[in-house]
Amino acid sequence: EAQVTQNPRYLITVTGKKLTVTCSQNMNHEYMSWYRQDPGLGLRQIYYSMNVEVTDKGDVPEGYKVSRKEKRNFPLILESPSPNQTSLYFCASSFRTANTGELFFGEGSRLTVL
């Protein structure tokens, strides 16, 4: 089954404790991206990757890091989480580009930073 898998789905952590949210897709997609969803703000792009070893900042990259060492994986790293990073996070992938194709989304990761 074609899917985007995120882990963990739910996480409560404390300020400053490094964490990683993993994302994996099994569709051989070139494009992957991370979004955060906050009430009233829709989805905002954090980082994206057009292919292996090619990553770039989205609209709200502060406090986040990513890497794309393999085509299928695109982890999101919070080096020192803060309460304003409490949010619902989505990983998405697309065959080639974001602006023309269908984005496939993971189920989401709800993060709470105390």
Partner 1 sequence: AQSVAQPEDQVNVAEGNPLTVKCTYSVSGNPYLFWYVQYPNRGLQFLLKYITGDNLVKGSYGFEAEFNKSQTSFHLKKPSALVSDSALYFCAVGPTSGYSSASKIIFGSGTRLSIRP
Tell me the closest approach of the beta carbon of residue 51 to partner 1, in angstroms. Answer: 11
The residue among 35 and 64 lying less far from partner 1, judged by its C-beta, is 35
CA atoms lying within 13 Å on the CB side of residue 25:
25
**Cβ distance to partner 1 smaller for residue 46 or 113:** 46
The residue count of the chain comes to: 114
Shortest Å, Cβ 41 to partner 1: 6
Minimal distance in Å, beta carbon 107 to partner 1? 5
**Is the bond preceding residue 39 a cis peptide, omega within 30 degrees?**
no
Residue 55, by phi and psi: left (phi above 0), alpha (psi -120 to 50) or beta? beta
Residue ranges binding partner 1 (CB under 8 A): 4, 31, 33, 35, 40-45, 48, 50, 56, 58, 90, 92, 97-100, 102-108
Query: Of 64 and 90, which has the nearer Cβ to partner 1?
Result: 90
Nearer to partner 1, 18 or 96 (CB): 96
Spatial separation of the C-alpha atoms in residues 73 and 53, rounded to whole Å: 11
Instruction: Classify the C-alpha dihedral 105-64-43-52 as positive or negative.
Output: negative
Q: How far is the CB of 97 from partner 1 (least distance, A)?
A: 4
